[in-house]
Structure formats: structure tokens, C-alpha cells
Amino acid sequence: MSWIRLLRVAAGPATGGLLLAVLAGAGAAGAAVGLMAVSAWLISRAALHPPVLHLMVAIVAVRAFGLGRGVLRYAERLAGHDAALRVLGRLRARVFARLAELAPAGLAGYRRADLAERLAADVDAVLDMLTRVLLPYAVAVLVGTGSVLLVGAYSPLTGLTLAAGLVLIGAAVPVLQARAARRADGRRAPLRAGLATGTADLLHGLPDLLAYDAARARLAGLADTGARLRGAEQRSAAMAGVSAAVTALVTGVCLLVGLAAGAVAVRSGELSGELLAVVVLTPLAVFETAAGLPVAAQHFAAARASLRRLADVLATPAPVVAPVAPVAVPDGPHTLRLERVGAAWTPGRTVLHDIDLELAPGARVALVGPSGCGKSTVAALMVRFLDPTAGRVTLDGVDLRRIAPERIRQIVGYLPEDAYLFDTTIAANLRIGAPDATDDRLRSVLAQARLLDWVDTLPDGLETLVGEHGRALSGGQRRRLVLARALLADFRVLILDEPTEHLDDETAAALLDDLLAAAAGRSVLVITHRTDIASRVDEVIELAAPSSLARS
């Protein structure tokens, strides 16, 4: 998808507002030009001492233009920003929806800090594209054309010079400027991304960095990136100066040509003397409008780059594709089966090979094996975050690829090792699992996860904030909270990835017992490296590195 299509699709519903803004803007700039042109004529005419009555129309026009400019400009800016903000909201939701389709397998290539940076900065660029690029250009084209026709009618040479000057400022200068700045801009975007990533790394990893005396080196690295960014910005600074200089120069040349050509025309009688001031001075007001174009064009390059990056994210192929005509899976006892499955997160990098596994209704199965042998990949396959590269995964005999992914995830729940806690309250984090759950229901799952007693001691209870990444909780509390959330969602099949990590042995054993009791009637797959699991489950499947299955 090209960035233009992306913009068109997002801007579609706001077209009316944008048009209104263009019209108001053209009216405002036109009023400024009109004010100068009519005043110049008024004064020239007045110098010939005509009856005041002959000047009345001009006087009224000058006053009207004086009033209209401010009012219309206000209307332009409000209409433009409102439309642009609407487009922004649509685009943001669209990008997020796409990210949601891609996560987690399709986003393996992007860093998280990068992603947030993209969402926030690249999506915001659409505001610039509309209010700072498209709007000023549309207005300048309308008013520029009108002014060239007006001036050209009296002095063709001046009209031509004005037209050439406008094209130079509006098109040639930006093209040159863009060509020179493109390299700097291209350098700037990765530097900014690097700065964002580096800053997030520095702050998140600060304890480790301080303990290992590496913070200074990191700072030096960041300062270096910052200095490069500064260099890149200063390089484009010289070009911004060039465009301002050319704008001043073009305005001046237009004045000179207007005065010289006007003098010749007046001498030869082709131009009435009282129109000379109009020919010479009108371009001054036109160029005041056009002076913003090079700046607008500078925004264009940056905004286009952002929109292109967004288009890239949107064009990333989805790791799994929902079936066109999904097969319905009725409620009831579910059997989940892996049949001679192979899997890879990145093409060619196989992590699982020829795996068979069956999770019968109500079964308690443990999947054990050393770290990194692909246990979590099995889980990803079972909730269809990933499609197998060989063999198939079936739910009640139906290939997962033929079932709607939402339906799969309604039945099969997955509690990953790094289950996420959002920076909000305990209750809100729980309700991710079941939005309509009552407080009583929340309390009951908290009790099952052995967390209720603790929550009850909190002054804010369920409304207690958990902090960024759940930082205000201990590791064990975090673990139990995400467990409670998984229980709340009431999945018929539950995959628990290292559910008792970070807990001391007695608590872990007790929690595992509670958990299996709470999951009564459901199928449970426990992924763990704990060897004491065997007595609690019906079957232990050992996944050995590298990835072949042996049943015990």
C-alpha cells in the first residue's frame, strides 16, 4: 500500500472539512492581496484629487478586506485542524488494528520501543501532512493563480515574473531543498529511532548498567547518537536558510521587474499611472502567502517518510490468515492435537520438528524439557499465533487454519511466561479476561490464585494500581494476578507456561494444586522445567533439545 492510498483512505470521511478549510484559507490570503492591491490603487487615485465619492467603493473594499482576513484565517485553521485530528484518530486505530493482527509472530522484526515511536510519531505526521503541507499548498495555488491573472492583466511581464517566482518558491526551491535534505532526513529517522531505543534501554536497564559500570558508556553512546542527530539537523538548517534567502530574492526581483516594466509601460501609455503602484506592490502581499511554502515542503518530506513507514507496517504480511469460510466448532469437550508438526518463527529456522501431542478433554498434561527446546512454540501453535511449517494442529479434528482465530482463542487460553500487566488497576487488569465480570467474580478468582487475602489488605483493594509493567507488585504477586486473569477468562483448554516461576517451593506446589483444582473439567497443558510435576498430572511429555519427543 502506498502512503498516498493510506492517506486517501484515512482522510476520506474528513474531505468536507478539508475543503472548507481550503476555501476559507484562500479567502483569507485573497483578502490580504486584495487589501494591498485596492489600497495601492486608492492612494494612487487619491493623488489625482478626485471627488471622494469616486473612492467610496475602494474604501469599503479596503475595510472589508481588513476585516475578512482575520476571520477567514481563523475559520481555516479551526476547520483544518479539526479535520486533520479526525483523520489522525482513524489512522491511529487502523495502525493499531493491523499491529494486533501481526502480533506476536509478525512483529518479531521490530523492537517494542520502535513500535511505540512509530505509532506516536509516524501517525502524528498525518497532522503535518494535512495542516502544514496540503492546506498551505492548496491555498497558495488558488491565490497565486488569481494574483498572477490580476497583475498580468496590467503588466504581462510582471505577471510572468510573479508566476515564475511563485513556481520557483513553491516548487523548485522545495525540490532542491528536498534533494539536499533527503540524505540528512534519511539519516535523522534511524538516529531518532536509535535515540528512542537507546533511551528506553538506558532507563529500563539502569540498575544493570550502574552495577556493571556501563552507564557511562551507554551515555557516551547516546550522546554520540545525539551529536549525530544534531549534525544531521544542522545540515538541513543551511538548506532552510537557502530557501528563505531565495524567497527574499525572488520577492525583490519581482519588485524590481514590476517597477522597471511598469515605468516603461507607463511611459509608453500602455499602463495607466494610477495602476503602477498596484503592479509593483501587489506581489509583496502574494509573496507573504507564498513564503510559507518552502517550510511546508520541508514538512512534506518528513511526513511522507513517516506515512511510508506506516504503510510498510500495514503491508507486513500477517503470520496467520483467518479462513474465509471458518468451520464452526461447537461447545463441548475439546481435543487439541499436534500431528507431526514442524514450526519456525523465522523461515528456515526450525525450532520444532515432527512433534505429536494430544490434549484430550479434561486431560492434565505436562510438557517438560530444557530451556529453549521449543516448549513455548508448542503453545504459540495451539493458539494459532503461528502456523506449523509441517504437519497440522487440530481442534476436535478440524485444522486450526480452518477455524476463526477468535474462536480458537475463546476455547484455548494461553498464559505465557511473560504475561503482561497493564499500567492500570488490579480490577482492570483482571477484566481483560472477562470485561463484564462482577467484583465478586474477581474476588473469587483472586481467591483461587491465593491473592485475595493480600488484595484485601490494600487500602484501595481491587482499585489498586499495579504500576508500569506491574512494577508495584512482587514477582510472585504478578504471577498470581495473571493466573487469576486466565482463570477468569474461563477457557476450556488452558496452556500454562511456567505458571509457578518466581515462587518459593511451598507456594509453588500449593499454587499448582489450587490451579489444577480450579481448572477442574478443563484440559490443562502445563509447560514447565519443574521435575516434581509428574505426580500432579496424567501424563508427562518430555521435549528434548533439539526438538524430538519422547513419552515417559
92-121: contacts with other proteins (CB under 8 A): 92-93, 96-97, 99-100, 103-104, 107-108, 111-113, 115-117, 119-121
Chosen residue from 266, 322, 390, 447 binding other proteins by CB under 8 A: 266
The yes or no reply on residue 524 touching other proteins (CB under 8 A) is no
Residue 333 or residue 475: which is nearer to other proteins going by CB? Answer: 475
Distance separating alpha carbons of residues 199 and 219, to the nearest angstrom = 9
Sole binder of other proteins in the list 20, 23, 164, 229 (CB under 8 A): 229
Does 186 contact other proteins by CB under 8 A? no
Backbone angles phi, psi at 154, to 5 degrees: -95, -40
Among 1, 67, 315, 510, binds other proteins (CB under 8 A): 67
Three-class DSSP labels, 1-25 = CCHHHHHHHHHHHHHHHHHHHHHHH
User: Looking at 402, 472, 509, 542, which residue binds other proteins (CB under 8 A)?
Assistant: 472
Footprint on residues 282-311 left by other proteins (CB under 8 A): 284, 288
147 binds other proteins (CB under 8 A): no
Rounded Cα gap, residues 24 and 26, in angstroms? 5
For other proteins, give the closer residue by CB, 115 or 398.
115
Q: Is the separation of the CB atoms in 382 and 393 below 8 Å?
A: yes
> Is residue 301 classed exposed, middle or buried when 0-12, 13-18 and 19+ CB atoms within 10 A define those classes?
buried
- Determine if 318 is a binding residue for other proteins (CB under 8 A): no
User: Residue 233: exposed, middle, or buried by beta-carbon count in 10 A (0-12, 13-18, 19+)?
Assistant: middle
Task: Candidates 59-67, 153-161, 176-184, 335-343: pick the segment binding other proteins (CB under 8 A).
Answer: 59-67
Decide if residue 535 touches other proteins (CB under 8 A).
Answer: no
- Measure the CA–CA gap between 275 and 266, rounded to whole angstroms: 9
3-state secondary structure of 439: helix
Q: To which residue does cell 526551491 refer?
A: 173
The β-bridge partners of 526 are 366, 496
Give yes or no for residue 210 binding other proteins (CB under 8 A).
yes
CB of 102 to other proteins, least distance (A): 9
CA distance 274 to 26: 27
* Segment near other proteins (CB under 8 A); pick from 8-16, 158-166, 230-238, 354-362: 230-238
Which of 145-153, 304-312, 394-402, 451-459 is the region at the interface with other proteins (rule: CB under 8 A)?
Answer: 451-459
How many angstroms separate the CA atoms of 271 and 280, rounded? 12
Distance of closest approach, residue 167 Cβ to other proteins, in angstroms: 18
Q: Which residues contact 457 (CB under 8 A, 6 or more apart)?
A: none
Q: How far apart are CA 243 and CA 294, in angstroms?
A: 6
* Region of residue 217 (phi > 0: left; psi between -120 and 50: alpha; otherwise: beta): alpha
Quick note: the x/- pattern for other proteins over 236-265, rule CB under 8 A, is xxx-xxxxxxxxxx-xxx-xx--xx-xxx-
Per-residue DSSP letter, 401: G
Helices (DSSP H) in 47-170: which residue ranges?
Answer: 56-102, 112-117, 123-127, 135-154, 156-167
Tell me if 73 contacts other proteins by CB under 8 A: yes
Q: Which of residues 374-393 bind other proteins (CB under 8 A)?
A: 376, 383, 385
Which residues, 27 to 46, sit near other proteins by CB under 8 A? 31-32, 35-36, 39-40, 42-46
| Residue 490 interacts with other proteins (CB under 8 A): yes or no | no
371 binds other proteins (CB under 8 A): yes
Whole-angstrom distance, CA of residue 283 vs CA of residue 159: 9
- Output 62 or 512, the one with its CB closest to other proteins: 62
Site for other proteins in 388-427 (CB under 8 A): 406, 409-410, 413-423
> Is 331 or 406 the residue whose CB approaches other proteins more closely?
406
Where is 375: in which H helix or E strand?
A: helix 375-382
Nearer to other proteins, 269 or 397 (CB): 269
Under rule CB under 8 A, how many of the chain's residues touch other proteins? 184
